[in-house]
Amino acid sequence: MTSLLQKINDLNVRVDNIDTTGNTSSSETAETLGEQVFYAVSSVDVLIGNVITYLSTFNSTPKTNTDLYSFTNNNTINIIKSGFYKINFNCNFHNIGFNERTTIRTSVMLNGISNITSGGQASAYLRNNTNGPRGTTTGALFYDLTAGDYIQLQNNINKGADTGFDTNFNSDYEFTEGSSIMITRMDINAVTADGTFLQGKLIAGDNITITGDVISATGGGGGTTDTTALQAQIDTNTTDISGIQINKQNTLIAGDNITITGDTISASGGGGGSSVHFLCSLNINFTSLLVGNYARFPNIVFQNPTTTTMIDINNGHGYTIQEDGLYHIGYSITALDKGGTVEIGILYIRNGVENIISRSGIAVALTEDRSTIWQLQTGDIVCIKYILGNAGYLTLYGSTSNDNLKTNMYGYKIG
């Protein structure tokens, strides 16, 4: 899947190396997309009270950049720097008191205005408070934002046969742990397609002409040197001069991202992100996944470092984390639509204990994509689990080649 490969490649994209005058700065250090991220998560269940509109709240911010974002009231992300931004969200809901079907809608609010176009909203279907009581809304949107803009997630509900998304939650629902929002600044003007730097626009100064992409010197200075006095000094101080010549550094030639002015050498680029990543897949045509079992990913498409293999565990597979850090972990499944509802979770095993970090309640669909961010340790085993459901076993489709992946699990370190 190209989108997953791009997530790995994005780790080395350099951004923000051009200053406000349009010139390449020699004092700034290029950043990675991992340094452009705001990430907030809810680690507790929150009761949604007697309201028609509920703003998603997040009580923890594992990662942020205070030069780009500020976070207020546990529900509002304020944009400090203009640019292109990608917004990802996962909002989990639990029906604890209403014994009929429900549809919950989540939309992105920009400056207090909700985007409820067909492409700007997500919805989840919950059956009732005993069968299929959980659901998750997910979204991924791009925005061209201006400093001072603010982002919120607005949630509304239709109960039973209601329409219009103006029904009262009436304390029948919880906003549950594992819900998250991630915002990433994507400065597309700072790099070329292959990830190299774009030079700031140059302005011709004295004795310089610029024609198209060619810069030329049209003049210069001159002068004379008193070589007689210099030669006399060399003749009378041969030993000292020889010592200086032996110890003197050769003249340096500026290479990529280097400028030399007088005796000062400066770097005008650099940086890079972590290269720790993995992508594994189901490399057979199809398989069955039973309730309580882990999904099968026997094939490692690529990884770095390359020192681990998939672990057979609970009738499926797990991947062993090779380096401590903050990881973006996710999966994509392609399944046979059998009807019913299921609950699928992302988990890690540490010291033999299973820890679920993200779970979703969904109607069985043809595809399901989900991801989260979590602090992991070396030796943790990451798995995808079919937690519960009334659809019986799931039929997951795979691919025998690496060109068109279907069911897969991936992760990459962002901090």
Residues 150-208 have pLDDT tens digits of 999 999 999 999 999 999 999 999 999 999 999 999 864 444 444 444 455 677 888 88
Whether 64 contacts 120, CB under 8 Å: no
Give the tens place of pLDDT for each residue, 141-151. 889 999 999 99
Neighbours of 399 (CB within 10 A): 19
DSSP string, 99-157: -S-EEEEEEEEETTEE--STTTEEEEEE--SSSS-EEEEEEEEEEEE-TT-EEEEEEEE
Residues 282-288, mean pLDDT to the nearest whole number:
84
pLDDT > 80? residue 118: no
353 burial type by CB count under 10 A (0-12 exposed, 13-18 middle, 19+ buried): exposed
130, pLDDT greater than 60: yes
Tell me, what amino acid is at 349? Answer: I
Which CATH fold would you assign to the domain 2-185? Answer: Jelly Rolls (2.60.120)
Least confident of 15-24, 184-193, 243-252, 376-385: 15-24
Report the run of H or E that residue 231 belongs to, with start and end.
helix 227-236
pLDDT tens digits for 335-380? Answer: 776 667 778 889 999 999 999 998 776 655 567 788 899 999 999 9
DSSP state of 252: P
Residue 213 CA, distance from chain mean position: 35
Q: Assess contact for 166 and 114: CB atoms under 8 A.
A: no
Integer Cα distance of 378 and 375 in angstroms: 10
CATH, domain 277-413, list 2.170.150.20, 2.130.10.30, 2.60.120.40, 3.40.50.620: 2.60.120.40
Span of 4-18, 84-98, 287-301 with lowest mean pLDDT: 4-18
> What band does 4 get if pLDDT is binned at 50, 70 and 90?
very low
Do 277-413 and 2-185 have the same topology in CATH? yes
Compare 334 and 373 and report the one with higher pLDDT: 373
The average confidence (pLDDT) of the chain is: 81
pTM over 0.75: no
Supply φ then ψ for residue 406, to 5 degrees.
-115, -85
Count Cβ neighbours within 10 Å for each residue of 231-257 and write b for 16 or more, e otherwise: eeeeeeeeeeeeeeeeeeeeeeeeeeb
- Asked if 61 contacts 120 with a C-beta cutoff of 8 angstroms, the reply is no
Ordered by start, the domain boundaries in the chain are: 2-185, 277-413
Closest by CA to 176, choosing from 95, 115, 79, is: 95
Give the separation between CA 359 and CA 382, rounded to whole angstroms: 14
Distances (CA, A) of 263 to 195, 224, 251, 268: 30, 22, 10, 16
State mean pLDDT over 267-279. 68
Distance between CA atoms of residues 146 and 80, nearest Å: 8
